[in-house]
Amino acid sequence: MSDEHPRPAITVAVVGGSLAGLSAALLLDRLGLAVQLYSRGAAHSEVARHAGLGVDPQVLTALAGEPAERLPQLNLRERQVLYRGRHQRDPVHLPVTTHALLHDYIAALLPAQRRAPPIEVTSARLREESSGVELQLASGERPSFDLVVGADGADSRLRAIVVGAPAPGEPAGYLQARGWIAESALPEPLRQLFFEPLRLSVAPHARQHFTAFPVPGAGADLTPGQRRLSWSWFFRADPDAPAPVDLHDRLARACDDWPDPVLEVISCTLAHGQAQAREIYELAAPRLVRGGLVLLGDAAHQISPLSGSAPRTTLIDALLLAHYLAEATPADLPGALAQFESRRLPTARALVEQGRSMAWGLRPRGL
Ligand SMILES: Cc1cc2nc3c(=O)[nH]c(=O)nc-3n(C[C@H](O)[C@H](O)[C@H](O)COP(=O)(O)OP(=O)(O)OC[C@H]3O[C@@H](n4cnc5c(N)ncnc54)[C@H](O)[C@@H]3O)c2cc1C
């Protein structure tokens, strides 16, 4: 399209201001679309925000438009499998960061004027009288857009409109306890086991699973001694146990299963760090698009955190949406969104299924 006859800008509302929403807003803004991001703001716990994530440098470079060197990250050099009495080690190259640092890195790339002040989106309506979507905001306003990107997370309100019926995630039958502890709070032999060299540690077991790796510390500090160890412990849900889960009690019951370093790290964290358990849900939305409404990230799919692929999948959702909208005018939107859906839906389903199969030993029978 020439400068003399610029293409009409597609107006876009992005609902959700976390990894999916920020990434979509950033990429669509770069394409020259008229983007406004609506989010009610941070809702995640401190434990979750500082949990560790793997970084895919290629995906992040594509998103940021530059090598993501300003993202504070650590490079894991070894993968060790912890067995009782022995460890098996192999070299890896695995950059890692935390959810909060990745979030803040992407947020800093998005021009501030693209973000509305924090607000709840209460609903959306596909306009019948003309194409486009009307949003309903908690303020009572009802702005309309050519395109609404539903990046409103696992409890998405917009999903029900796309699917045509309530479509909540299904309990997967197991829980993830997450925790982190300051490197300096670990006894020296444990610190060495997890930090020298920087290692991804894994303890597999038929009915439980444990992973741990170093992440940047408070204030994104990468200095040895100031970093943190982030871990996840997956275990089967116990319908008879009182809620919320008592991690001390679960740990006492896990004693026979785990190698000593795993027990020590979890119990050190319960004493000196932060930990929290949550139930895991799975979901692959049966469709991603209806009219001018499209779902991304956890609104579209909830992938087992055992696979570690959810954050990367979310960023790729945004990259693909931007790919199909790169040349689009408002008139091209239906075709571009249909192409996005037919490319993304089978992959999202396969990733959810892959996560499910990785967790087979964690599920109660029959799930
Ligand atoms: C804190 C955290 C830690 C994680 N750690 C891991 C991990 O260790 N390993 C792993 O594999 N995966 C992890 N995940 C999951 C993975 O990162 C997600 O799959 C991915 O971040 C998808 O993010 P999202 O933007 O789709 O959803 P979310 O991060 O849930 O964001 C949803 C956004 O929508 C906003 N919102 C929701 N409803 C409304 C509304 N009605 N109106 C306005 N705004 C609304 C929320 O405020 C939020 O900003 C983590 C997720 C979080 C949030």
- State the CATH number of the domain containing residue 321: 3.50.50.60
Provide the domain limits for residue 161. 11-39+115-167+285-362
3-state secondary structure of 59: helix
Which atom of ligand 1 is nearest to 313's Cα? 19
Which atom of ligand 1 is nearest to 303's Cα? 19
Given ligand 1 and candidates 14, 15, 18, which is best to mutate, with the most ligand atoms within 8 Å of its CB? 18
Which atom of ligand 1 is nearest to 52's Cα? 8
Nearest residue (CA) to ligand 1, atom 2: 48
Alpha carbon distances (Å) from 232 to 10, 175, 178: 42, 10, 5
Nearest residue (CA) to ligand 1, atom 28: 153
Query: Average pLDDT, stretch 255-264?
Result: 89
Q: How far is the CA of 84 from the centre of ligand 1 (A)?
A: 35
Rg (CA), the chain: 22
The pLDDT assigned to 1 comes to 47
pLDDT at position 150 over 80: yes
Same domain flag for 356 and 208: no
Task: Determine if residue 246 is left, alpha or beta; phi over 0 gives left, psi from -120 to 50 gives alpha, anything else beta.
Answer: beta
pLDDT at position 158 over 90: yes
Which atom of ligand 1 is nearest to 154's Cα? 30
pLDDT at position 9 over 80: yes
pLDDT category of residue 278 using cuts at 50, 70 and 90: very high
Q: How far is the CA of 314 from the centre of ligand 1 (A)?
A: 9
The pLDDT assigned to 263 comes to 94
Ligand 1 site, CB within 6 A: 15-21, 38-41, 43-44, 48-49, 51, 53, 99, 120-121, 151-154, 157, 297-299, 305, 308, 310-311, 314
Has residue 210 been placed in a domain?
yes
Has residue 107 been placed in a domain?
no
> Which residues does residue 284 pair with via DSSP β-bridges, in sequence order?
301
Has residue 207 been placed in a domain?
yes
pLDDT tens string 320-333: 999 999 999 999 99
pLDDT tens string 165-200: 999 999 999 999 999 999 999 999 999 999 999 999
Has residue 52 been placed in a domain?
no
Tokens standing for residue 114: 């693209």
Has residue 90 been placed in a domain?
yes
pLDDT at position 10 over 90: yes
The pLDDT assigned to 2 comes to 47
State which of 243, 265, 280 marks the end of a domain: 280
- To which H or E segment does residue 26 belong? helix 19-30
DSSP type of residue 223: S
pLDDT tens string 303-321: 999 999 999 999 999 999 9
Has residue 82 been placed in a domain?
yes
pLDDT at position 223 over 70: yes
Look at the chain and report how many structural domains it folds into: 2
Same domain flag for 197 and 145: no
Tokens standing for residue 121: 């989106």
Q: How far apart are CA 352 and CA 175, in angstroms?
A: 16
Query: Average pLDDT, stretch 127-152?
Result: 94
pLDDT category of residue 5 using cuts at 50, 70 and 90: low
Q: How far is the CA of 336 from the centre of ligand 1 (A)?
A: 25
Which atom of ligand 1 is nearest to 16's Cα? 34
Same domain flag for 187 and 266: yes
Q: How far is the CA of 193 from the centre of ligand 1 (A)?
A: 31
User: Which residues have CB under 8 Å from 185's CB, separation 6+?
Assistant: 268, 272, 273
Angle at which helices 310-325 and 333-358 pack, to 10 degrees?
A: 170
Give 243 or 251, the one with higher predicted confidence.
251
Has residue 20 been placed in a domain?
yes
Domain CATH number, residue 260? 3.30.9.60
Residues in the chain: 367
Has residue 51 been placed in a domain?
no
Same domain flag for 185 and 272: yes
Same domain flag for 220 and 128: no
State which of 256, 280, 304 marks the end of a domain: 280
Given ligand 1 and candidates 94, 99, 279, which is best to mutate, with the most ligand atoms within 8 Å of its CB? 99
Q: How far is the CA of 155 from the centre of ligand 1 (A)?
A: 10
Write out the DSSP string of 183-211. GGGS-HHHHHHHHTTTEEEEEE-SSEEEE
Nearest residue (CA) to ligand 1, atom 16: 311
Nearest residue (CA) to ligand 1, atom 46: 16
Give just the sign of the alpha carbon dihedral 294, 299, 301, 305: positive
pLDDT tens string 26-59: 999 999 999 999 999 877 889 999 999 999 999 9
Mean pLDDT of the chain: 94
Q: How far is the CA of 43 from the centre of ligand 1 (A)?
A: 9
**Residue entry with tokens 């790919």:** 323
Same domain flag for 217 and 332: no
The pLDDT assigned to 7 comes to 67
> Range with the lowest mean pLDDT among 171-185, 213-227, 255-269?
255-269
**Residue entry with tokens 């000196």:** 272
Query: Average pLDDT, stretch 23-28?
Result: 98
Threshold 0.85, pTM exceeds: yes
State which of 280, 304, 337 marks the end of a domain: 280
Which atom of ligand 1 is nearest to 41's Cα? 47
Given ligand 1 and candidates 97, 120, 298, 354, which is best to mutate, with the most ligand atoms within 8 Å of its CB? 298
**% of the chain exceeding 70 in pLDDT:** 97
pLDDT at position 3 over 80: no
